[in-house]
Structure 1
Amino acid sequence: MEYQDFINAVAMRAKVSTDEAATLTGATLAVLADRISAGQAEDLAYQLPDELADHLRTPLGRERATSFGFEEFVRRVGDRPNVDRAHADAGVRAVLTTLREAVTRDEFENAANQLSKDFWQVIEPVGAGGGRSKR
């Protein structure tokens, strides 16, 4: 999926402008990088355009994920610079759902398996089989 297609999908799902969708996307992917292992974040980054992948790449030396639930995830996204807290929840849901469509099903499930069950309840289902097929 191309960068602009990703941002447009987030904007549509979250009902925000494309500028706000880009901000929400960057914040959500950066918090996701803190929440999952560095290796898994890098695996997701590999399947995304550079403009998105850079948010998932973590500093060297951070291998361990920080454990927290969905509500804390949304709070951390809302605390990021330039994020409208009122749109953080919808933005996180939109970004995670769009991410599910943008990467392979196996890669998304590997990442999602590192998250608590409350995350699965907020990600919209995608077409039969979910995600795109492997390259």
Structure 2
Amino acid sequence: MTYEEFIAKVSERAGMSREQAEVISRAVLETLAERISGGEADDLASLVPEPLRPSLQRSVRKPALSFGLSAFVDRARVRAGDPGWFTLDAVRAVLMTLRDAVGDKEFRDALAQLPQEFEEILRVTA
């Protein structure tokens, strides 16, 4: 998947502009990298389009932080500049597009490090 395809899919799924999709994609991927192990984040980074790789790569190796879906959405919203259009649907759109980009097995490996509520929001529209 190319960068343009990734952003177009997020834009379509979230019902927002291309520019908004770029902002939320980076914010969600950066938050995901903070939430999962560094090795898993690196694995995902190697499979996404190059312009998105820095969002998944952590410059400092720290243990993954533990927080649930609500805190995930809040952290990503702040990273995106706290826009009013940033919603749970936007997070879902990025995660579903990430699954398309990296493949089911790699995505499931990352999802296994997240609380069950993440799988539930993805199952609703999968």
TM-score (norm 1): 0.87
Aligned-pair CA distance for 1:72: 0.7
Contact 1:24 1:83 in 2 (8 A): no
Residue 10 of structure 1 corresponds to 10
Distance in 2 separating the partners of 1:102 and 1:116: 22
Aligned-pair CA distance for 1:88: 3.1
Q: Which has the higher contact order (CA 8 A, sep 6+)?
A: 2
Contact 2:38 2:58 in 1 (8 A): yes
Residue 83 of structure 2 corresponds to 84
Secondary structure of 1:47's counterpart equals coil
Residue 122 of structure 1 corresponds to 121
Identical aligned pairs, as a percentage? Answer: 39
Residue 34 of structure 2 corresponds to 34
Distance in 1 separating the partners of 2:113 and 2:30: 15
Name stretches of at least 5 consecutive residues in structure 1 with no aligned partner.
126-135
Distance in 1 separating the partners of 2:82 and 2:15: 14
**RMSD (CA atoms):** 1.2
Instruction: Give the 3 Å change call, closer, same or farther, for CA 75–54 of structure 1 in structure 2.
Output: same
Name stretches of at least 5 consecutive residues in structure 2 with no aligned partner.
none
Letter in 2 for 1:51: P
Secondary structure of 2:59's counterpart equals coil
Contact 1:6 1:98 in 2 (8 A): yes
Aligned-pair CA distance for 1:83: 4.4
Instruction: Give the 3 Å change call, closer, same or farther, for CA 50–83 of structure 1 in structure 2.
Output: farther
Aligned-pair CA distance for 1:12: 0.5
Give the aligned length: 124
Letter in 1 for 2:50: D
**Larger CA deviation: 52-61 vs 78-87:** 78-87
Secondary structure of 2:79's counterpart equals coil
Letter in 2 for 1:88: T
Which of structure 1's runs of 4+ aligned residues deviate more than 6 A?
none
TM-score (norm 2): 0.93
Distance in 2 separating the partners of 1:44 and 1:81: 21
Contact 2:31 2:76 in 1 (8 A): yes
Distance in 1 separating the partners of 2:107 and 2:43: 9
Greater fraction helix: 2
Show the 5 A alignment for 1:97-116: 97-116=96-115
Residue 93 of structure 2 corresponds to 94
Residue 65 of structure 1 corresponds to 64
